[in-house]
């Protein structure tokens, strides 16, 4: 009887640990109205998405080479189709790359074949990140390619390329 109680308590604790792990450190929240956001034409959408690891990306700017290197192994053929979605109210700020973005979630890199959303928002004027499934499950991880640390390293690391969290630009 006692053992059973201990086991039950242990089970509940493990369950709680799992729940808090799933919600790990996504600093951007899930924008539930993301399907109404506006697609923009960027380098990634022009290329058609993110390729696999054997693609020759040597002609692309270093930040794109690094992006492919970080995410190409997610599955053998690479992440596949991707597009950038922008919250309608933030379209002007995105197009002009103003760096002045509204509080809340503003941009999505939509990996549509994987049904995954990379979300960038802004809090206190600074960028925040999170990774979600299309139906809102937080799949941000503590370390590795799906961690906010990795997003920050690249989005804030390539200062000449990204402005306050925005890396892409409208291509016409």
* Positions in the binding site for ligand HEC (CB under 6 A): 42-44, 63-64, 66-67, 70, 84, 107-109, 118-120, 129, 131, 146, 150-151, 154-155, 166-168
Minimum distance, C-beta of residue 146 to ligand HEC, in the bound complex (Å): 5
Nearer to ligand HEC, 11 or 145 (CB): 145
Q: Rank residues 11 and 39 by Cβ distance to ligand HEC and give the closer one.
A: 39
Residues 162 and 126: beta-carbon distance below 8 Å:
no
Cβ 57 to ligand HEC shortest distance, Å = 11
Minimum separation from the CB atom of position 15 to ligand HEC (A): 26
The answer to whether the CB of 102 falls within 8 A of the CB of 122 is: yes
The residue among 15 and 144 lying less far from ligand HEC, judged by its C-beta, is 144
Q: Are 130 and 107 within 8 A, CB to CB? A: no
Give which of 129, 122, 130 is closest to 22, Cα–Cα: 130
79 or 166: CB nearest ligand HEC:
166
Shortest Cβ 54–ligand HEC spacing (Å): 18
Longest dimension (CA), the chain: 70
CA-to-CA dists, residue 41 to 2, 91, 111, 116, 132, angstroms: 62, 12, 15, 19, 22
């Amino acid at each position: 009887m006692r053992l059973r109680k201990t086991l039950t308590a242990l089970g509940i604790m493990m369950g709680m640990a799992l729940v808090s792990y799933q919600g790990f450190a996504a600093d951007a929240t899930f924008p539930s109205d993301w399907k109404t956001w506006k697609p923009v034409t960027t380098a990634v959408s022009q290329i058609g998405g993110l390729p696999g690891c054997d693609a020759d990306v040597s002609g692309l700017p270093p930040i794109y080479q690094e992006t492919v290197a970080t995410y190409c192994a997610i599955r053998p053929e690479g992440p596949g189709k991707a597009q950038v979605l922008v919250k309608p109210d933030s379209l002007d700020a995105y197009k002009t790359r103003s760096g002045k973005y509204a509080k809340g979630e503003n941009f999505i890199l939509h990996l549509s074949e994987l049904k995954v959303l990379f979300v960038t928002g802004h809090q206190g004027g600074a960028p925040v990140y999170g990774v979600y499934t299309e139906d809102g499950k937080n799949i941000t991880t503590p370390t590795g390619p799906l961690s906010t640390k990795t997003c920050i390293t690249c989005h804030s690391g390539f200062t000449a390329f990204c402005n306050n969290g925005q890396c892409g630009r409208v291509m016409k």
